[in-house]
Structure 1
Amino acid sequence: MAPHDRLTTLLDKPTAATPPDVPPVLAVEGLTIAYGGTQVVHGVDLAIGRGQSLALIGESGSGKSTIARALLRLLPEGGRAQGRAVFEGVDVLALPERRFRPLRGRSIGFVPQDPGASLNPVRTIGAQGLEAAALLDLDSKAERREAVLETLAQVGLDDPRRVAASYPHELSGGMLQRVLIGLAVLPRPALLVADEPTSALDVTIQKRILDLLSDLQADLGNSLLLITHDLAIAAERADSLVVLKDGTVHESGATSEVFAAPSSAYARRLHADVPSLHPDRWADLRDVGERRRHGADATPARIEVAGLTKTFGRGDDALVAVDDVSFSVPAGTTHALVGESGSGKTTTIRLLVGLETPDSGSVEVAGAAVHQHNRAELREARRHLQLVYQNPFTSLDPLWKVERLVREPLDRYGVGTRAERRDRVREAVASVGLSEELLTRRPAALSGGQRQRVAIARALVLQPDVLVLDEPTSALDVSVQADIVQLLLRLQAERGLTYLFVSHDLALVRQLAHTVSVMRHGKVVESGPVAEVFAAPEHDYTRTLLASVPRGAER
Structure 2
Amino acid sequence: MAAQDRLTADTLTRAELIAPVPLRPLPLLRVDGLSVCYGPHEVVTNVGFELGRGESLALIGESGSGKSTIARAVLRLLPSGGHATGRVAFDGQEVLGISERGFRPLRGRAIGFVPQDPANSLNPVRTIGAQAQEAAALLDEADKAFRKQLILETFAEVGLDNPRRVYDSYPHQLSGGMLQRVLIGLAILPRPALLVADEPTSALDVTIQKRILDLLTRLQHDLKISLLLITHDLAIAAERANALVVLKDGVIHEAGRTASVFSSPESAYARKLRADVPALNPDRYAASRDRGFHAVKTGGGDTPKIDVGAVTKTFIVDGKTLTAVDDVSFIVPAGTTHALVGESGSGKTTAVRLLLGLEQPDTGTISVAGEQITGRSPEALRAAWRHLQLVYQNPFTSLDPTWTIERLVREPLDRFRVGTSKERVARVREALADVGLGGHLLSRKPGTLSGGQRQRVAIARALVLKPDVIVLDEPTSALDVSVQADIVEVLLSLQANLGLTYVFLSHDLALVRQLAHTVSVMHRGRIVEHGTVAEIFDNPQQPYTRSLLASIPSGIAGAAHLPQARLRLMATAD
Given candidates 333, 347, 350, the residue that maps to 1:330 is 333
Q: Residues 62-461 of structure 1 correspond to what in structure 2 (within 5 A)?
A: 62-138=65-141, 140-291=143-294, 299-313=302-316, 317-461=320-464
The aligned amino acid for 2:462 is A
Measured against aligned partners, the alpha-carbon deviations of 1:485-520 in whole angstroms (never above 9, x if no partner) come to 111011101111000000000000000000000001
The equivalent position to 2:478 in structure 1, one of 446, 451, 475, is: 475
2-side partners of 1:48 and 1:314: how far apart?
Answer: 49
1:46 and 2:45 matched: no
Give the alignment of 1:14-25 within 5 angstroms: 21-25=24-28
Shift of 1:435: 1.0
Equivalent-residue separation in structure 2 for 1:161 and 1:543 (angstroms): 33
| Aligned residues of 1:293 and 1:330 also touching (Cα < 8 A) | no
The answer to whether the Cα contact below 8 Å between 2:391 and 2:458 also exists between their aligned partners in 1 is yes
- Contact 1:292–1:331 (Cα < 8 Å) also in 2: no
Amino acid at match of 2:272: R
Q: Are the equivalent residues in 1 in contact too, given 2:327–2:526 (CA < 8 A)? A: yes
Contact 1:292 1:299 in 2 (8 A): no
Q: How does 1:531-542 map to 2 (within 5 A)?
A: 531-542=534-545
The answer to whether the Cα contact below 8 Å between 2:295 and 2:496 also exists between their aligned partners in 1 is no
Q: Secondary structure at the match of 1:327?
A: strand
Q: Which amino acid aligns with 1:417?
A: T
- Report the secondary structure of 2:125's partner residue: coil
* Distance change (3 Å), C-alpha of 1:173 and 1:314: closer
- Cα deviations by residue, 1:226-282 (Å, 9 ceiling, x for unpaired): 000000000000000000000000000000000010000100000000000000001
Which secondary structure state, in structure 2, belongs to the residue aligned with residue 66 of structure 1? helix
Moved over 3 A (4+): 289-299, 372-376
Aligned amino acid, residue 190 of structure 2:
P
CA contact (8 A) 2:236 2:554 kept: yes
| Whole-angstrom distance in 1 between the partners of 2:376 and 2:144 | 62
User: 1:30 — aligned with what?
Assistant: 33
What is the distance in 2 between the residues matched to 1:160 and 1:376?
49
- The code of the aligned residue for 2:353 comes to R
How far apart in 1 are the matches of 2:378 and 2:88? 63
Determine if contact 1:292/1:330 at 8 Å carries over to the other structure.
Answer: no
CA contact (8 A) 1:112 1:195 kept: yes
Q: Distance in 2 between matches of 1:172 and 1:363?
A: 30
Contact 1:293 1:299 in 2 (8 A): no
Report the more deviating stretch, 281-290 or 45-54.
281-290
| Secondary structure in structure 2 of the residue aligned to 1:133 | helix
Show structure 2 runs of 5+ residues with no match.
1-21, 561-574
Change in Cα spacing, 1:484 to 1:20, as seen in structure 2 (3 Å) is farther
Q: For the structure 1 residues 298 and 64, does the alpha-carbon distance in structure 2 shift closer, same or farther, using more than 3 Å as the test? A: farther
Measure how far apart 1:432 and its partner are. Answer: 0.2
The 2-side partners of 1:76 and 1:512 are apart by 39
Would the alpha carbon gap of residues 240 and 364 (structure 1) be closer, same or farther in structure 2, given more than 3 Å must change?
Answer: same
CA distance in 2, matches of 1:156, 1:372: 45
Secondary structure at the counterpart of residue 483 of structure 2 = helix
The answer on whether the counterparts of 1:115 and 1:173 sit within 8 Å (CA) in structure 2 is yes
What secondary structure is seen at the aligned counterpart in 2 of 1:550?
Answer: coil
Aligned 8 A contact 2:262 2:556 in 1 = no
Q: Within 2, Cα distance between the matches of 1:463 and 1:294?
A: 20
3-state SS, counterpart of residue 313 of structure 1: strand
Question: 2:528 matched to 1:525?
Answer: yes
Tell me, what secondary structure is at the counterpart of 2:164? helix
| Local SS of the residue matching 1:394 | coil
Corresponding residue to 1:495 among 475, 495, 498: 498
Q: Tell whether 2:64 aligns with 1:61.
A: yes
User: How far does residue 377 in structure 1 lie from its aligned partner after superposition?
Assistant: 2.8
Cα distance change, pair 220–375 in 1 and its aligned pair in 2 (3 A): closer
Which is further off, 285-294 or 327-336?
285-294
Q: Tell me which amino acid in the other structure corresponds to 2:428.
A: V
Moved more, 490-499 or 296-305: 296-305
Letter in 2 for 1:312: F
Cα drift, residue 23 of structure 1:
1.3
CA-CA distance at 1:291 after TM superposition: 3.3
| CA RMSD between the two structures | 1.5
Among 501, 507, 513, the residue aligned to 1:510: 513
2:365 and 2:372 in contact (8 A); partners too: yes
Paired with 2:210 and 2:33, the residues of 1 have a C-alpha distance of: 34
Local SS of the residue matching 2:220: helix
Q: C-alpha distance in 2, partners of 1:350/1:374?
A: 14
Q: Answer yes or no: is the 8 Å Cα contact 2:348–2:522 preserved in 1.
A: yes
Are the equivalent residues in 1 in contact too, given 2:296–2:499 (CA < 8 A)? no
Other structure's SS at 1:93 match: coil
- Contact 1:125-1:168 at 8 Å conserved across structures: yes
Paired residue secondary structure (2:374):
helix
Q: Is the 8 A contact 1:33 1:41 kept in 2?
A: yes
Listed one character per residue, the Cα deviations across residues 352-409 of structure 1 (whole Å, up to 9, x for unaligned) are: 0100011000100000001243443310111100011001221111111001111111
- Name the SS for the 1:149 alignment partner: helix
SS of the residue corresponding to residue 24 of structure 1 reads coil
Which amino acid letter does the alignment assign opposite residue 31 of structure 2? V
2:205 touches 2:507 (CA, 8 Å); kept in 1?
Answer: yes
Show the counterpart of 2:10: none
Inter-partner Cα distance in structure 2 for 1:308 and 1:222: 50
CA distance in 1: counterparts of 2:399 and 2:99, whole angstroms = 43
Tell me which moved more, 132-141 or 98-107: 132-141
One-letter amino acid matched to 2:246: V
Distance in 1 separating the partners of 2:298 and 2:419: 38
Indicate if the aligned counterparts of 1:390 and 1:474 stay in contact, CA closer than 8 A.
yes
Name the structure 2 match of 1:13. Answer: none
Partner amino acid, structure 1, of 2:545: T
Q: Deviations over 1:137-178 (max 9, x none)?
A: 545222211110000000000111111111111111100000
SS in 1 for 2:45: strand
Secondary structure at 2:442 match in 1:
helix
Q: TM-score scaled to structure 1, two decimals?
A: 0.95
Taking every aligned residue pair, what percent have the same amino acid on both sides?
A: 69
Report the more deviating stretch, 177-186 or 20-29: 20-29
* In structure 2, distance between residues paired with 1:197 and 1:453: 26
**Which amino acid in structure 2 is aligned with residue 27 of structure 1?**
R
SS of the residue corresponding to residue 328 of structure 1 reads strand
Equivalent position amino acid for 1:437 in 2: H
Distance 2:504 2:394 in 1: 15
Question: Hey, what does 2:5 align to over in structure 1?
Answer: none
SS in 2 for 1:392: coil
Q: How far did 1:134 drift?
A: 2.0
SS of match in other structure, 1:253: strand
